[in-house]
Amino acid sequence: MTAAVRDASRSWAAGHLAEEGPVLAACDVSVSFGASRVLNDVSLEVRAGELVGIIGPNGAGKTTFFGTLVGALHPVTGTVTFEGVDVTHQSMAQRCRHGLVRTHQIPRPFNDMTVFENVFVAAVNAHGSSRKVAYQYAIEALTHTDMLGVANRRGKELGLLDRKRLELSRALATEPKVLLLDEIGGGLSEGESMELLAMIRALNDRGITIVWIEHMVPLLRKAAGRFVCLHQGRIIADGSPDEVMADPTVTSAYLGGSVK
Ligand SMILES: Nc1ncnc2c1ncn2[C@@H]1O[C@H](COP(=O)(O)OP(=O)(O)OP(=O)(O)O)[C@@H](O)[C@H]1O
Ligand SMILES: [Mg+2]
């Protein structure tokens, strides 16, 4: 497909979905751990094809929010909607099968399995019993993340960049429509994070909607058209990266830490 045709079809898709509503939405989501309220009435709408960056200080509730979107955590109040369907009471596996998946902040590959086996297992889990289809998805995912060359290496033998790429490959093998990335750039060198950035942009160009939590704001700015800032369990800013980074409430949320 040429870039022009792809752009035309994506803008048609975006326009079409704009009429139909957001691909992913949280409405007044609150989450507690015991007596501690970690998310307070969080509402967010993500449109098909967007690449949204989520920022916020440590402990803001970013990972908890992703956990709630994918069904690892259940809100005490509020709803999560995916492709117009209320999925609040669906399991994580159901949401994954429909195309909503996240990567983990701390990659936890199966250490004694090879890279290929790790990705294949993710594909089998997402696509049910068809091992042939799962095999194809696994190979496609490893091709995209440029990991075919290390496909026979065991999880425990991988360095940080490869563990992050494996985490991404496992998510891709489920054929996501919406991909939630939790600090996938953290701890990488400049060159490594640029490599990852190119992969993530290419996924977005392929039509995958991406929501990306990242502390490395300059990296996120290179990819995201919109920033959302979470602080103390609430969304305190939502807009263009320039608007959000210039917002005094965002600056003061980071006081005591720093906006890198
Ligand atoms: N399973 C849990 N049980 C109890 N408290 C938790 C649990 N998970 C997270 N928390 C608390 O909830 C708050 C939000 O945590 P969360 O991990 O969502 O923050 P975050 O914005 O992702 O932070 P970071 O930038 O450090 O990854 C923190 O105070 C954290 O200690
Ligand atoms: Mg986190």
Q: Which helix (H) or strand (E) holds 33?
A: strand 24-33
Within 8 A by CB and 6+ apart from 64, the residues are: 31, 38, 39, 73, 233
Identify the pLDDT of residue 174. 95
- Which of 31, 38, 39, 231 most suits a substitution to test ligand 1, by most atoms within 8 Å of the C-beta? 38
Output the ligand 1 site: residues, CB below 6 A: 33, 38, 56, 58-64, 105
One of 3.40.630.150, 3.40.50.300, 3.40.710.10, 3.20.20.70 is the CATH number of 1-24+46-72+89-99+180-260, namely: 3.40.50.300
| Distance from the alpha carbon of residue 55 to the mean position of ligand 2, in angstroms | 10
Identify the pLDDT of residue 4. 41
Domain boundary assignment for the chain: 1-24+46-72+89-99+180-260, 107-175
In this structure, what token pair is assigned to residue 90? 């669906």
Neighbours of 138 (CB within 10 A): 27
| Distance from the alpha carbon of residue 12 to the mean position of ligand 1, in angstroms | 38
Q: Which residues surround ligand 2, an ion (CB under 5 A)?
A: 62-63, 105
What is the residue-level pLDDT of the chain in tens, covering all 260 positions? Answer: 334 433 444 443 444 444 568 999 999 999 999 999 999 999 999 999 999 999 999 999 999 999 999 999 999 999 999 999 999 999 999 999 999 999 998 888 999 999 999 999 999 988 876 888 999 999 999 999 999 999 999 999 999 889 999 999 999 999 999 999 999 988 889 999 999 999 999 999 999 999 999 999 999 999 999 999 999 999 999 999 999 999 999 999 987 554 54
Q: Give the global pTM.
A: 0.90
Identify the pLDDT of residue 129. 66
Closest ligand 1 atom number to CA of residue 105: 27
Phi/psi class of residue 83: alpha, beta or left (left: φ > 0; alpha: ψ in -120 to 50)? left
